[in-house]
Structure 1
């Protein structure tokens, strides 16, 4: 398995586990046993993020993708699971965050001009 594939899979896992931990935090308000899932989820998410970085993904790119996907999935799932509000203005904000990540990724992929 290539390093970029390992990085991508680890980042995907980190995103999914972090979103689950965040949603568990909401559930823990009513049922404190969910705090176990919160702590385990965040610890696992950070461990997977470390694997991603060790595999060579730049921290700025990894964090941008993690943050944008986390915001998007958490807001969407909170609306579906907990009935939280998701307005058109919030959707525009989430689209802007995702657009920002695309700029970060594009900036990472572009080569700077030769200074010599």
Structure 2
């Protein structure tokens, strides 16, 4: 169970870091740049802890899938990024893939 908590923390760190990239203005603004660097360090550290018990392919698929969905939603809310029907459909399919992986795959360590 601890590994799943670590994975949630890794995803959160990565989403915060990625979402802060735009605010860093190509690393020309100090505070958002610090958030980016610290966020990615935290993301990779917690992902390394996850890999003790969850296979790398499964952990990365969940991390990437949920990260994509979260960053797209945050970009829509904070930066006004437009999400058309193909974008929403694609994001929904990614989310569906993560759900299928967790509910039905015997590869995921639960």
Q: The TM-score by the shorter chain falls in which range?
A: 0.7 to 0.9
Q: 2:18 aligns with which of 19, 22, 33?
A: 22
Q: Distance in 2 between matches of 1:41 and 1:94?
A: 23
State the match for 1:84 in structure 2: 81
Q: 2:95 aligns with which of 75, 93, 98?
A: 98
What number of residue pairs does the alignment pair up? 105
Relative to the length of structure 1, the TM-score reads 0.82
State the match for 1:44 in structure 2: 42
Determine if contact 1:18/1:41 at 8 Å carries over to the other structure.
yes
Q: Distance in 2 between matches of 1:77 and 1:51?
A: 26
Determine if contact 1:61/1:108 at 8 Å carries over to the other structure.
no
Between structure 1 and structure 2, the one with the greater Rg is 1
Is there any run of 5+ residues in structure 1 with no aligned partner, and where? 111-116
Relative to the length of structure 2, the TM-score reads 0.86
